[in-house]
Structure 1
Amino acid sequence: MNLGIVSLILLLVAIVVGFARNVNVGILCIGFAMVLTLLYGDTITAKQVIEGFGTSLFIQMVGVTYLFAIINGNGTLELMARKIVNLVPARAIPLVMFFIGMALSAAGPGSIPCLAIIPVIAIPISVSAGINPIMTAIIGDMGAMAGRMSPLTPEAAVVRGLMEEQGMDGNTVPIMLCTMMVTVICALLVYVYYKGWTVDRSAASGEKEQLPKFTWQQWLSLLGLVVLAFGVLVLSWNVGLTGFLIGTILVILGCGNEKKAVAGVPWNVILMVLGVGMLMNILSLSGGIDIMVSALESIMGPKSAAPIMALTAGIMSFFSSGLGVVFPTLVPICGGLASGIGADGVYLVAMAVIGGTIAGYTPISTTGALIMAGVSQQKDAETRFPQNKLFIELFAVSFINLAVLAVTALIGIYGLIV
């Protein structure tokens, strides 16, 4: 049997077994990857499997969670969250996080660094307010996605160049407006699913009361957060390496305990994310993605082109980077494809961009990984937010987002903008 098909089957088996038996899906995937090297040794080697280990994602996840384990350990996050909750009504927090994410992303840095920062802000605030932290992190990240195609962002620069090479108008504002439309719809669905209007008063710890002042260690920790945000958003520093640097400085200055911080890193979540990524790398190398994409493109027509392009981009983004793979692969074919089947080229570009963006909530993506990591650091997380259940929910969010995009594209609602 084709290696791509077998690896896809094993991925599904790992997810099902992990959920049913409550074992780490990532470790299962690493084991299955080894099985594939034994069965298909002439096609995939152990060296190639190991190369699929996401080193960059590992550094990013560990660096950020290490820093926030330090800051959380000295009480900074809890006190800051309580102070913010005192100012913002609990039910308004998801809305506020959506607009914060959108404003930060659209201002210039784009969605990639914002997707790393939003969850670590939204999750502790939500826990203190007694609302679902998963919901708030997802909605906040949807805001960051909504601002991704602002003309100021590097993502927009890439798409603009690819469009102009085909003779299209490189204006990405219509694409940004389309993205905003679908993210608002999806955010509302997430809000309804998690019953965002409900507030768990027994879990809330941020009642309006006279709160203590920050200690000097907490002020330094807050300064560290500011430096992290400025360095990542403005200076384009690597968020993981920056987290390690700031965390190291805080430990040296006596603002945290290194051993407790290392113990606070969610290693089980990291193994889950990176292990699944290794198996998916085999799927990519074996041509499994090409098989799925070719099947979808072969049934395109004038009316079905937009939803199929959206689904194709979304499926590809399950296995690869939207900016690094999906956009450069699909956007260049939109002009010729549109001419051949009688569709609108900019419309197809919008579908490729949005599909490659909103499907990024899977746990193997940076967005989903950081949400899982942030939630796992909360008190009683294993009981309140079981990892395997959250793993499935994040995949479900990606699929539902794609379904919303495909249906609205089929209706033609984006034609009002593009």
Structure 2
Amino acid sequence: MMSLIVVGAIVLAIALGYKTRINIGLFAIAFAYLIGCFAMGMSPNEVIKLWPLKIFFIIFSVSLFYSFAIINGTLEKLSEHLLYSCRKFPHFLPFAIFFSSTLISALGAGYYTVLAFMAPLTLLVCQRTGMSMIVGAMSVNYGALAGANFVSSQSGIIFRTLMMGAGFSEEDAFINALGIFISTAVIPLLVITGLVFLTGHAKTMKESGFSIDKPRAFDSKQKTTLTLTLVMMLLVLAAPISAILMPDNETITFINSKINIGLVASIFSVIALMLKLGDERKAIASLPWSTLIMICGVGMLISIAIKAGAIDQLSSWIGTNIPSALVPVAFGVVGALMSLFASTLGVVTPALFPIVPSIAANLGIDPMIIFICIVVGAQATSISPFSSGGSLILGACPSDENRRDLFPQLLFRAAPLGFAVALLYNLAITFVL
């Protein structure tokens, strides 16, 4: 009975958040308190301790450092240079948009930030080149997602932390997260290639006569910011990769055990402030506070669900009612349906990742495959106009007429296409790997 109450609370929190446009995390915190204290007999302090402090600290620290590259214009300037480099090959612009978005997102801008300044630029490029808005929208959305999924970027860090919270070692979480990144980088290339070369878009863009003004050079602060960002990424990636390649080396194992991306990012934030690469107040104000509240609030409610036994019951139901070969694919479909109305980071992965260990162990499935299927499925429908990605792209439209034209295209073409390709990919890795 208690499990049903908690599951109902999760569904109700998502529905209320979608209906009222109030952060889902706030509803989740309220339900965690009411159910935990008054239905399960927990003390208020026990409920407060369910706040996922580790996830909060890591996202806060990493986002704070990466925010300097946003507020001083480094990442926006980088995107302009990358697009300018493709000016003589307009039919490759969708790939330039995808790789630009991926790189900038991987450098720490995160999914929402990349869409905020890349989507308007992309839709403007669509107008000037005759490129389909669907092609442009999917290119920038896929790129922002793939880059954010990189193991040292925002989504990748969240995935790794959730996996470790579910009982996986740091090395296994790193490998699983790397598998997610590779998958979400391969799928877009397949989709974009098909859209460009199999639908006539390449010919249209070749004949467009597209031109773009040469962007200004990076200033000294932007060069320093870019250097610091690359150094930090290399530092936090070198240790775990070395530990995987040389697991018996005691020195590397020791160093890897002392590397924490949140703490490293804190040091680099201090360096950035000492070098005056950006204003401290602006950097703090630009942090993804709404995302933090949503992820941590839902995390509290999911912890209540775990204590109530809901996760174990759901795992048992899936293990006995769905053919084992189709379990990863089923997870992908569920993730896609949830993502139509809820956040992948804030709702889908915190709700589904804790189920994976027991399912994988009971059915003898590689947990990486299930993790990949969940994220691939969830992010396949993120371009829906009812989801955060699609709504940001619609908001970037230069006119109401463009917005009216793009809405049905996102809903009836882009989202179904993304879902179909994700489903095929999940089927392929489930039966091939």
TM-score past 0.5 threshold: yes
Residues 1:137 and 2:165 aligned together: no
Q: Which residue of 2 aligns with 1:232?
A: 236
Q: Residue type of the partner of 1:257?
A: D
Normalised to the residue count of structure 1, the TM-score between the two structures is 0.62
Q: What displacement does 1:356 show?
A: 2.0
Q: Which residue of 2 aligns with 1:333?
A: 362
Q: What is the DSSP-based 3-state SS (H/G/I as helix, E as strand, rest coil) of the residue aligned with 1:10?
A: helix
> Gaps (5+ residues) in structure 1?
102-112, 160-174, 199-205, 336-347, 385-392
Paired residue for 2:372, among 345, 357, 364? 357
Q: Residue type of the partner of 1:137?
A: A
8 A Cα contact 1:82 1:128, kept in partner: no
Q: What is the DSSP-based 3-state SS (H/G/I as helix, E as strand, rest coil) of the residue aligned with 2:239?
A: coil
Normalised to the residue count of structure 2, the TM-score between the two structures is 0.60
Residues 1:306 and 2:325 aligned together: yes
Inter-partner Cα distance in structure 2 for 1:291 and 1:62: 33
Q: What displacement does 1:329 show?
A: 3.2
- CA gap of 1:280–1:362, structure 2 versus 1, over 3 A, is farther
Q: What displacement does 1:185 show?
A: 8.0
- CA gap of 1:277–1:315, structure 2 versus 1, over 3 A, is farther
Residues 1:69 and 2:42 aligned together: no
Q: Residue type of the partner of 2:317?
A: A
1:281-320 alignment, distance < 5 Å: 281-300=303-322, 304-308=323-327, 310-311=329-330, 318-319=349-350
Residues 1:3 and 2:2 aligned together: yes
Q: What displacement does 1:127 show?
A: 5.1
Inter-partner Cα distance in structure 2 for 1:308 and 1:295: 11
Q: What displacement does 1:214 show?
A: 1.7
- CA gap of 1:289–1:232, structure 2 versus 1, over 3 A, is same
1:213-224 alignment, distance < 5 Å: 213-224=217-228
Identity of aligned residues (%): 18
Paired residue for 2:292, among 266, 270, 274? 270
> Gaps (5+ residues) in structure 2?
87-91, 124-135, 160-169, 203-209, 241-258, 336-347, 400-410
Q: Which residue of 2 aligns with 1:168?
A: none
8 A Cα contact 1:84 1:125, kept in partner: no
Inter-partner Cα distance in structure 1 for 2:76 and 2:185: 33
8 A Cα contact 1:76 1:218, kept in partner: yes
Deviations 1:303-348 (A, max 9, x none): x3211355369979834685xx66653444345xxxxxxxxxxxx4
Q: Residue type of the partner of 1:233?
A: L
Tell which deviates more after alignment, 118-127 or 352-361. 118-127
Q: Which residue of 2 aligns with 1:47?
A: 45
Q: Which residue of 2 aligns with 1:250?
A: 272
Inter-partner Cα distance in structure 2 for 1:181 and 1:66: 25
Q: Which residue of 2 aligns with 1:96?
A: 99
Inter-partner Cα distance in structure 1 for 2:307 and 2:71: 42
Residues 1:85 and 2:83 aligned together: yes
Q: What is the DSSP-based 3-state SS (H/G/I as helix, E as strand, rest coil) of the residue aligned with 2:321?
A: coil
The structure where helix makes up a greater share of residues is: 2
Inter-partner Cα distance in structure 2 for 1:260 and 1:359: 35
8 A Cα contact 2:74 2:222, kept in partner: yes
Q: Residue type of the partner of 2:66?
A: F
RMSD of aligned C-alpha atoms? 5.1
Q: What is the DSSP-based 3-state SS (H/G/I as helix, E as strand, rest coil) of the residue aligned with 2:276?
A: coil
Q: What displacement does 1:158 show?
A: 7.9
Inter-partner Cα distance in structure 2 for 1:331 and 1:241: 32
Inter-partner Cα distance in structure 1 for 2:186 and 2:260: 26
Q: Residue type of the partner of 1:79?
A: K
Inter-partner Cα distance in structure 1 for 2:173 and 2:270: 35
Q: Residue type of the partner of 1:305?
A: S
Inter-partner Cα distance in structure 1 for 2:421 and 2:315: 17
Residues 1:24 and 2:46 aligned together: no
8 A Cα contact 2:64 2:287, kept in partner: yes
Tell which deviates more after alignment, 238-247 or 134-143. 134-143
Inter-partner Cα distance in structure 2 for 1:115 and 1:219: 14
